[in-house]
Structure 1
Amino acid sequence: MIIDCHAHLVPPGLLDAIRANAAKFPSIKVIEDGGSLGFSFAGAKPTRPVSKPLSDIAARLKWMDTQKVERQVVGGWLDMFGYEIPAEEGAGWSRLINAHLAQTAREEPRFVPLATVPLQDGALAAEVLREAHQSGFKGAMIGTQPKGKGGVLDDPALKPFWEATNDLGSVIFIHPVFESGDDRVHDYGMANAVGRITDTLIAMSRLIYAGHVGRYANARIVAGIGGAALPYVIGRLRRNYQLDKDKLGDPDAALAAMYYDTIVQDPRALRFLADVVGADRIMMGSDMPFPIGDLAPLNIVEDTPLTPSERISINGGLAQRLFGL
Structure 2
Amino acid sequence: MPGYDLHTHLAPALPELPPGIERAPDGALAVDGRPVGPVDLYHAERLEEHLDKAGLDGAVVSLPPPFFRQTLPIEWTPAWVRVVNEGLLAAVAGAPRLAPLAYLPLEHPEAALAEYRRIGRDLRFVGVAAAAGGLSVSLADTRLDPLWAALEVDRRPLMLHPGASPDIRLREFYLGNLLGNPSETGLAAAQLVFGGVLSRHPALKVLLVHCGGVAPAVAGRWQRGADTARPGIPSETEPPAHALRRLFVDCLAHDPAVVDLAVTVFGADRMVLGSDWPFPMGTADPVGLVAHRGTAFTRRVGVSNAEAWLGW
Task: Give the equivalent residue in structure 2 for 1:138.
Answer: 126
| Equivalent of 2:150 in 164, 169, 173 | 164
Alpha-carbon shift at residue 30 of structure 1 (Å): 2.2
Of the structure 1 ranges 104-113 and 263-272, higher mean CA displacement relative to structure 2 is found in: 104-113
Alpha-carbon shift at residue 198 of structure 1 (Å): 1.0
Deviations 1:67-113, CA, capped at 9 Å, x for gaps: 11210000111211223223353122222222232344442110011
Task: Give the equivalent residue in structure 2 for 1:39.
Answer: 31
SS for the counterpart of 2:216 is coil
1:181 aligns with 2:166: yes
1:197 aligns with 2:182: yes
Task: Give the equivalent residue in structure 2 for 1:124.
Answer: 111
SS for the counterpart of 1:5 is strand
SS for the counterpart of 1:134 is coil
- Which residue identity lines up with residue 62 of structure 1 in the other structure? E
Task: Give the equivalent residue in structure 2 for 1:85.
Answer: 72
Partner Cα distance (1:195, 1:237) in 2 = 19
Partner Cα distance (1:129, 1:174) in 2 = 15
Alpha-carbon shift at residue 5 of structure 1 (Å): 0.9
Q: Cα RMSD over matched residues?
A: 2.1
Question: Where in structure 2 are the equivalents of 1:122-271 lying within 5 Å?
Answer: 122-136=109-123, 137-145=125-133, 149=135, 151-177=137-163, 179-242=164-227, 243=229, 244=233, 246=235, 248-271=237-260
1:280 aligns with 2:266: no
- Which residue identity lines up with residue 209 of structure 1 in the other structure? F
- Decide whether the 8 Å contact of 2:211 with 2:262 is kept in 1: yes
Task: Give the equivalent residue in structure 1 for 2:6.
Answer: 5
Partner Cα distance (2:116, 2:234) in 1 = 33
Alpha-carbon shift at residue 264 of structure 1 (Å): 0.3
Task: Give the equivalent residue in structure 1 for 2:284.
Answer: 295
- Which residue identity lines up with residue 115 of structure 1 in the other structure? A
TM-score (norm 1): 0.86
Partner Cα distance (1:152, 1:47) in 2 = 27
TM-score (norm 2): 0.90
Of the structure 1 ranges 190-199 and 278-287, higher mean CA displacement relative to structure 2 is found in: 190-199
Partner Cα distance (2:221, 2:67) in 1 = 34
Deviations 1:113-150, CA, capped at 9 Å, x for gaps: 111123233233123223323111232110024xx737
Cα distance change of structure 1 residues 120 and 230 upon mapping to structure 2, 3 Å threshold: closer
Higher RCO, 1 or 2 (CA under 8 Å, sep at least 6)? 2
Cα distance change of structure 1 residues 88 and 158 upon mapping to structure 2, 3 Å threshold: farther
Task: Give the equivalent residue in structure 2 for 1:71.
Answer: 58
SS for the counterpart of 2:261 is helix
- Decide whether the 8 Å contact of 1:47 with 1:80 is kept in 2: no
Gap regions ≥5 residues in structure 1:
23-27, 41-45
Aligned residue-pair number = 305
Could you tell me the percent identity over the aligned residues? 25
1:58 aligns with 2:45: yes
- Which residue identity lines up with residue 168 of structure 1 in the other structure? D
- Decide whether the 8 Å contact of 1:7 with 1:288 is kept in 2: yes
Partner Cα distance (1:55, 1:106) in 2 = 13
Task: Give the equivalent residue in structure 2 for 1:25.
Answer: none
- Which residue identity lines up with residue 275 of structure 1 in the other structure? T
Of the structure 1 ranges 132-141 and 2-11, higher mean CA displacement relative to structure 2 is found in: 132-141
Alpha-carbon shift at residue 159 of structure 1 (Å): 2.5
Task: Give the equivalent residue in structure 2 for 1:43.
Answer: none
SS for the counterpart of 1:289 is coil
Alpha-carbon shift at residue 32 of structure 1 (Å): 4.2
Alpha-carbon shift at residue 223 of structure 1 (Å): 1.3
Gap regions ≥5 residues in structure 2:
none
1:319 aligns with 2:310: no
- Decide whether the 8 Å contact of 1:5 with 1:319 is kept in 2: yes
